[in-house]
Amino acid sequence: MRKIHCLNAISKHGTDLLTADYELTDNVKEAEGILVRSASLHEMEFPNSLLAVARAGAGVNNIPLDACAQEGIVVFNTPGANANAVKELVIGALMLASRDILGGINWCIDNAEDANIAKSVEKAKKAFAGCEIRGKKLGVIGLGAIGAEVANACAGLGMEVYGYDPFISVQAAWMLSRDVKHTTSLDTIFQECDYITLHVPALDSTKGMINKNALEQMKDGVVVLNFARDLLVDEDAMAEALASGKVKHYMTDFPNTKSVHMKGAIVTPHIGASTAESEDNCAKMAVKEIMDYIENGNIRNSVNYPACDMGVKKTVARVAVLHLNIPNMIGQITGVLAGGGINISDMTNKSRDKYAYTLMDLESVPDDILVQKLNAIQGVLRVRVL
Ligand SMILES: NC(=O)c1ccc[n+]([C@@H]2O[C@H](COP(=O)([O-])OP(=O)(O)OC[C@H]3O[C@@H](n4cnc5c(N)ncnc54)[C@H](O)[C@@H]3O)[C@@H](O)[C@H]2O)c1
Ligand SMILES: O=C(O)CC[C@@H](O)C(=O)O
């Protein structure tokens, strides 16, 4: 029986897809697969049994990707599966930042016992007047699954949308509305936009991208929306910019000891992906990815190994070798199998940065000695016979 450990609550719509060969276990030490949302794996000691981690979500900064790759553990995420949920919350945040909806609601609560509320509201309401987003300039930083949806939706709401993403994928570029203006300059976004929304991953290259210098370039009264990760914003600089009125509102989905005390910050409790639909989508995609990898060795949507798909295993044996991307690996791997008199009927080799993957369909099953020889090749990180 194959064991899967859930580090967070994972939607039953996903775990129900696990076939009779699988069971959920509370004991991570015996797990072949881990399903996780935002729990951190940075301090975890990985058991030898662990083949794959699937993040039911987009951001993978809670997982040590390189350490996993070194141990032959493939990490997956679920691109796009929660994009609509985040887009809808960003639109809600644009409204909250532009109209004093929260102040107005609180006024109604505070005045609930006023018998004349129906009259007094007409005087009081001017305190909660706001502005419209139509015609305002929105800068979208990062045009992946979420950024592209936000950009398109806001263009549809009549905003003048500028998009910045030097690494945009062809697929994401196809998704973009022709109304979204492409800019290659982050400074243009900072200097021109009334609203700026972040949709990039937390990487060394993106951490602190909204810093003092960026904030100083922005228009007075700008609104910054952060539904990506708190690390993208220098929050000391943001607190100062809010206090001075440079930034009107900082809309963030990441409560921390700084953001929750900032005057003018409107903080939500990391609920960007918290809809039933998104949780189901992410869980279903994560479970399918992990099962396809465990059973067939196929890698789809990995963030630390290359994509590789040889379909459903049909031969008597399929061997999967995770290894370093260095010279002469294919020669050595196929040499070991040839030395054992085994014919390879089909094979694929793919690489991604430091790591590579060789998947082979064989006409006979390699014995333990051959598997040991494969494992002994310098640069081989894990061998599996499926
Ligand atoms: N609040 C939430 O609950 C929630 C939910 C989902 C995702 N997220 C966060 O949002 C991020 C984006 O999610 P996604 O699904 O759109 O991911 P994605 O991978 O589809 O898109 C990310 C985009 O950022 C771009 N990018 C990378 N570095 C950049 C840079 N320096 N400048 C501009 N663009 C850059 C990439 O080219 C890519 O197009 C995730 O990494 C995650 O941290 C948060
Ligand atoms: O799992 C969640 O609730 C958060 C997911 C989100 O942060 C992501 O990066 O996909």
Per-position DSSP letters for 124-191, written without gaps between them: HGGGG-----TT-EEEEE--SHHHHHHHHHHHHTT-EEEEE-TT--HHHHHHS-TTSEE-S-HHHHHH
Closest approach atom of ligand 2 to CA 82: 10
Closest approach atom of ligand 1 to CA 272: 3
CB 30 within 8 A of CB 51: no
Which pLDDT tens digit goes with each residue over 189-248? 999 999 999 999 999 999 999 999 999 999 999 999 999 999 999 999 999 999 999 999
Cα 141 to ligand 1 centre (Å): 9
Closest approach atom of ligand 1 to CA 209: 31
Cα 202 to ligand 2 centre (Å): 12
Cα–Cα distance, 195 to 177 (Å, whole number): 19
Closest approach atom of ligand 1 to CA 271: 3
Which pLDDT tens digit goes with each residue over 328-337? 999 999 999 9
In short, whether 211's Cβ falls inside 6 Å of ligand 2 is no
Q: Which of 65, 82, 165, 282 to mutate to test the pocket of ligand 1 (most atoms within 8 A of CB)?
A: 165
What is the DSSP code (8-state) at residue 299? Answer: B
In short, whether 146's Cβ falls inside 6 Å of ligand 1 is yes
Count of all residues that appear for the chain in the document: 386
Cα–Cα distance, 286 to 15 (Å, whole number): 9
CB-based burial label for 347 (10 Å; 0-12, 13-18, 19+)? middle
Which pLDDT tens digit goes with each residue over 274-319? 999 999 999 999 999 999 999 999 999 999 999 999 999 999 999 9
Cα 228 to ligand 1 centre (Å): 7
Cα 146 to ligand 1 centre (Å): 7
Q: What is the ipTM of this complex?
A: 0.99
Which pLDDT tens digit goes with each residue over 243-274? 999 999 999 999 999 999 999 999 999 999 99
- Taking the model in full, what pTM does it have? 0.96
In short, whether 139's Cβ falls inside 6 Å of ligand 1 is no
